[in-house]
A and B are shown apart, each in its own frame.
Chain A
């Protein structure tokens, strides 16, 4: 029943996609007209609306790809330029020209933004190409049915076979067609590797600036604390001991009292340094790693805190430290603002990423935009490309998830011999699969006398079929190995930069 329903859903979706492909074709043709008008006639004014129309249609396709095929497709566009800012004298500058009003500079900015962005042209290509590829594929069952109906009306009973075939096949076919649409959309509508890298570089750039700033502020705070605290106390201790030294002969009683004071002052200095160290790099973290450090945090928290830890190894020290302070801040927030009494901390891995989930039973309503504490966590995590997601509906509960990518080693990259082997597989699989396998099979089936260089046809009769089938299997196997090696290489290298 459910499979019938899912087949029906898939059919409805593929039909919708076919219709959407037509809409896309219309938008693509509109854009084609706009491009011709712009670059042949010079009617630049029609270009931006056409691009906007194309973006509306492709945005819909992206959303459907994500929702129906589960293939997330990110928006590839460059950020929209800010509106032009007038100079001090009230004029707008654009290159070497001054304008009284912002209309033309704004248009120029938009124009460059759209024409220089490869995503615009990829959208264009998609809109023209998609109806022919995924659109046609999606519409195939409908077309087959329509063809069958036409034939039936024309009095040809073969039409019924077409309709029946479409009805039987659609169950497996429709979900596949929807997935194909998702893949095509991901390939053409997603950001290119270059765009992704550009986005990443600008994000990292911002994160680095923030990290450097907050680190400098932190160092200033530590310097001030040492200067006003422990350092000042050590000076006082030195002076007190000096005074005691002077009094040692004349007034041993007073000297003893002074020495007692010096001892007390040294204990206070130690306490201050201890507090400072806790804020810089907590000793438990250095001694035991993140898991036990979070357990120690839980013990010191006024909340009843349950901790589960599942880590294969220790992450790097700076990363552990960032995660630790994030958890510390989240627990403190829960106790301070959320009125929580109980909290759950889960520290685990998600592939090579470190993921920490902190949940509390407080009254919720935490907002990263408002709280400086949450902003601080984001900044700290940002330096490691990490993210914080907070879900805190009014009335609670609050769940905060921290994710630090690439905290742990990914599977090792294939060694060089393996890579060469992978390339060899790439070269050999078509030879095994096509001429030696499939072509030989066809020749054998039709009983052709041609033997050419097909091994399967030269061996004695009882071995001909096994050799042919073996060749097909070998080709498939080589292709699988080639694909797997390439995927592993990509994964390992992508781990460093993608």
Chain B
């Protein structure tokens, strides 16, 4: 699997390259600034991009902007965004086109190599990987609002894990539910959020989007 990596801190960049290589990824470009990133994304058309939000030259949100620009040109280009802090605002901007293949994680998550690589794979496959911190803040600020208010506590838990990008099997394992029980919960969530039956993967993305847009 071909990866483009953008990270300005030398140590972290080398660490990520080593981690991804160790898990069988091919790092086709490891860049350290916004313009370089955009050029690499357009030129290499990787299977997935791992991008730090804050990059030179402005050290604002160059990485995020480059990733969004690349996705506008190549819809559905899988992008996993890493940051020292997470904002619901950025999560929404990433998810806004509804085409999936989006991840948004705190940098701390690379401490656990296995989980991180797992997230990269999920994003590359067109799924989502939202940081639990984004979801926690979303829930804290949205406790009373529609349509999330209509979900049962269990359905909420399932939706949270779905937003993190877990498969039905993984959700069942985490919540000690059978696959069919998880299936029932997800179907119920889709109905309550008003998502018409379609390709399951796409609906999962839309559910997460609805979740994030529920204000």
Q: A residues engaging B (CB < 8 A)?
A: 263, 266-267, 270-271, 274, 277-278, 283-284, 286-288, 292, 295-296, 299-302, 304-305, 341
Contact = CB atoms under 8 A, between A and B. Distances in A.
Interface residues on B, range: 20 to 34
B111 A266 contact: yes
Contact of A284 (B87, B140, B142): B87
A278 B141 CA distance: 17
Contacts of A292: 89
A299 B88 contact: yes
Which among A277, A283, A287, A305 has the highest number of chain B CB atoms within 10 Å? A287
B8 to A, nearest CB: 14
Contacts of A271: 108
A302 B215 contact: no
Given A301-B141, A304-B215, A287 B89 contact: no
Contacts of B83: 283
B85 A274 contact: yes
B209 to A, nearest CB: 14
6 contacts: A270-B108, A283-B54, A287-B60, A296-B88, A302-B142, A302-B144
A296 B215 contact: no
B145 A296 contact: no
B79 interface: no
A299 B61 contact: no
SS of A interface (majority): helix
Contact of A304 (B61, B88, B111, B145): B145
A304 B89 CA distance: 15
B141 A302 contact: yes
Contacts of B60: 286-288
A420 B194 CA distance: 70
B143 interface: yes
A277 B141 contact: no
B116 to A, nearest CB: 13
**Which one of A288, A296, A299, A301 has the highest number of Cβ atoms from chain B below 10 Å of its Cβ?**
A299
Contacts of B85: 274, 277-278, 283-284
B61 A288 contact: yes
B143 A302 contact: yes
Contacts of A304: 145, 215
A304 B215 CA distance: 7
Given A302-B144, A304-B215, A296 B89 contact: yes
A286 B140 CA distance: 24
B140 A287 contact: no
Contacts of A300: 88, 137, 140-141
A278 B143 CA distance: 23
Contacts of A266: 111
Contacts of B111: 263, 266-267
Given A267-B111, A295-B89, A296-B89, A283 B84 contact: yes
Contacts of A287: 53-54, 60-61
B144 A341 contact: yes
A274 B143 contact: no
| 4 A-B pairs with the lowest CB-CB distances in the bound complex, closest first | A299-B88, A287-B60, A287-B61, A296-B89
Contacts, number: 55
Contacts of B137: 300
B178 to A, nearest CB: 31
Given A287-B61, A304-B215, A274 B84 contact: yes
Interface string B56-67: 000011000000
A302 B140 contact: yes
Contact of B89 (A263, A267, A299, A305): A299
A296 B64 CA distance: 15
Contacts of A277: 84-85
Contacts of B145: 304
Interface in B17-55: 53-54
Interface in B115-173: 137-138, 140-145
Contact of B141 (A274, A284, A299): A299
A344 B154 CA distance: 33
A96 B144 CA distance: 72
Contacts of B54: 283, 287
A286 B60 CA distance: 7
Contacts of A263: 111
Interface string B82-116: 01110111001000000000000001100100000
B53 to A, nearest CB: 7
Given A283-B84, A299-B92, 7 more contacts: A266-B111, A274-B84, A277-B85, A283-B54, A296-B87, A299-B88, A299-B141
Nearest to B137: A300
A266 B85 CA distance: 15
Contacts of B61: 287-288
A32 B88 CA distance: 71
Nearest to A335: B141
A263 B109 CA distance: 11
A273 B116 CA distance: 22
A216 B91 CA distance: 36
Contacts of A341: 144
Contacts of B92: 299
Nearest to A295: B89
A341 B142 CA distance: 11
A302 B137 CA distance: 10
B215 A267 contact: no
Nearest to B143: A302
A256 to B, nearest CB: 14
